[in-house]
Amino acid sequence: MKVLLLALSCLWAFASPAWETDFDKARKLAADKHHLILLNFSGSDWCGPCIRLKTEIFDDKAFLTFADQELILLNADFPRSRKNQLSKEQQKRNDALADKYNPEGHFPYTLLLDENGKVLKTWEGFPNTTPDGFIDQVKNSAHAAGK
């Protein structure tokens, strides 16, 4: 039974949409698939609301299913712990994203972007909704933008 559960969890992990870390790659994927980009600024190892957003919304099965069909997920993480430090190249990419999309340094900060990087909607802090409510907000924002 444990082996079966482990196998199923591994399959789920591989079936889940991956979070991109390169904005140019995310834009290309969004253009190719005609998807929107969900950009999330997080402090994965120090920001309580960021961790909560990941576990309560972004790791939810309904959100993952929706994201797989409609979104390119992009994460700009700013960890503080030495063991979680990013490569210099990744830190530079994240800093550039922060300069453009999050100059105030809010965490968590989530943006819905079109494939050209135009901001359609933002969420500052934890969105204070359910996964289904968050999905509805994304859909409504996309619809309002004509996507």
pLDDT in tens, 63-120: 999 999 999 999 999 999 999 999 999 999 999 999 999 999 999 999 999 999 999 9
Does 11 fall in a domain?
Answer: no
Domain that holds residue 100: 16-144
Does 10 fall in a domain?
Answer: no
pTM (predicted TM-score): 0.88
Q: Would you call 138 exposed, middle or buried from its count of C-beta atoms within 10 A (0-12, 13-18, 19+)?
A: buried
Does 41 fall in a domain?
Answer: yes
| Structural domain total, the chain | 1
Does 7 fall in a domain?
Answer: no
Residue 90 belongs to domain with CATH number: 3.40.30.10
